[in-house]
């Protein structure tokens, strides 16, 4: 079975400071992991994906994530937050079953 | 724009009415997925197609929900006898899977902007 736990429902950072959004996963198989971002009343946009290649994955808009099998984690980071980063972020796991399992989301607020 | 298109963007209807939503995937994508998203939650998988074949439908919420993709291109999601609990955002996504039918599932999905359903 696959599942995702996003450890923080809300994160607030000041503009220009680092962002850390935490995600732990559970999977019976080698997982593929994704981070998506959702702006209000919009669909989801792919930020980055991990599919068993390099464990440090770089995505769009300066985001990156590191796959740590020993910790079953896939945390999303960005060195410097921008106002436009304010949105809802979803960690997603997929493993063999052709279904995506979404976390409950982390709402990121960026304070000017 | 060649992204995933959903129509309508908003639907308001009275309880008990039937509603149908349409999704046009990215043209070269062979997989199409439907999700439901309620306020404050992540998207919840409902069903998916590879070409015209519906490969998973056990996660549809009840027998009032059905989906079709008759020619392997656009898809429709129908909800019959709507209830207030059906109020949600319905999202469609598509992807390109190169493996045999029913395999893979690790390609990124591209999402439409969704149809927001409100039941009065």
Considering only CA atoms, which of B108, B83, B86 is closest in space to residue B97? Answer: B108
pLDDT score recorded for residue A109 = 97
Query: B108 pLDDT band (50/70/90 cuts)?
Result: confident
| Residues of B at the A interface, defined by Cβ within 8 angstroms | 4, 33, 40-45, 48, 55-56, 59, 91, 93, 102-106, 108-114, 116
pLDDT tens per residue, range A43-72: 899 999 998 778 899 999 999 999 999 999
Contacts of residue A81, defined as CB under 8 A and 6 or more positions apart, other chains included, come to A13, A14, A15, A16, A17, A18, A19, A108, A110
Which of B44, B56, B108 is facing A46, going by the closest CB pair? B108
Q: Return the residue in B6, B42, B97 with the most chain A beta carbons within 10 A, the one to mutate for interface testing.
A: B42
Query: A99 pLDDT band (50/70/90 cuts)?
Result: confident
Residue A102 and residue B44: Cβ atoms within 8 Å?
Answer: yes
- Number of residues that make up chain A: 112
Residue A97, pLDDT above cutoff 70 = no
Residue B35, pLDDT above cutoff 80 = yes
* Residue A58 C-alpha from the chain's centroid: 12
Query: A32 pLDDT band (50/70/90 cuts)?
Result: confident
Residue B109 and residue A98: Cβ atoms within 8 Å?
Answer: no
Q: What percent of chain A has pLDDT over 70?
A: 96
Contacts of residue B92, defined as CB under 8 A and 6 or more positions apart, other chains included, come to B4, B6, B21, B23, B25, B32, B33, B34, B35, B75, B77, B111, B112, B114
**What average pLDDT does the segment B71-85 reach?**
95
Which of B42, B110, B116 is facing A104, going by the closest CB pair? B42
The structure tokens 């991990």 sit at: A50
Backbone angles phi, psi at A89, to 5 degrees: -120, 135
What is the β-pairing status of strands A106-111 and B88-95?
Answer: unpaired
A40: contact with B, CB 8 A cutoff = no
Q: What percent of chain B has pLDDT over 70?
A: 93
**What average pLDDT does the segment B20-43 reach?**
93
Are the beta carbons of A76 and A65 closer than 8 angstroms?
A: yes
Residue A6, pLDDT above cutoff 90 = yes
Which of A45, A46, A98 is facing B102, going by the closest CB pair? A98
Residue B112 and residue A34: Cβ atoms within 8 Å?
Answer: no
**Torsion B97-B57-B51-A35 (CA) sign:** negative
């Amino acid at each position: 079975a696959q599942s995702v736990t996003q450890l923080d429902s809300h994160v607030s950072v000041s503009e220009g400071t680092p962002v850390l959004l935490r995600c732990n996963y559970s999977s019976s198989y080698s997982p593929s992991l994704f981070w998506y971002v959702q702006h209000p009343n919009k669909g989801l946009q792919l930020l980055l994906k991990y599919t068993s290649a390099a464990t440090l994955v770089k995505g769009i808009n300066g985001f990156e994530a590191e796959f740590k099998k020993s910790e079953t984690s896939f945390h999303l980071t960005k060195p410097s937050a921008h106002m436009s980063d304010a949105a809802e972020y979803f960690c997603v796991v997929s493993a063999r079953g052709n279904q995506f399992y979404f976390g409950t989301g982390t709402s990121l607020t960026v304070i000017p | 724009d060649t992204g995933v298109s959903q129509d309508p963007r908003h639907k308001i209807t009275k309880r008990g009415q039937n509603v149908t939503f349409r999704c046009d995937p990215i043209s070269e994508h062979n997989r199409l997925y439907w999700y439901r998203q309620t306020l404050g939650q992540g998207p919840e998988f409902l069903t998916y197609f590879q070409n015209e074949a519906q490969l998973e439908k056990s996660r549809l919420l009840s027998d009032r929900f059905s989906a079709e993709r008759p020619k392997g291109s656009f898809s429709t999601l129908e909800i019959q006898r709507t209830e207030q609990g059906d109020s949600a955002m319905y999202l469609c996504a598509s992807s390109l899977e190169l493996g045999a039918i029913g395999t893979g599932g690790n390609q990124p999905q591209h999402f439409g902007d969704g149809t927001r359903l409100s039941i009065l």
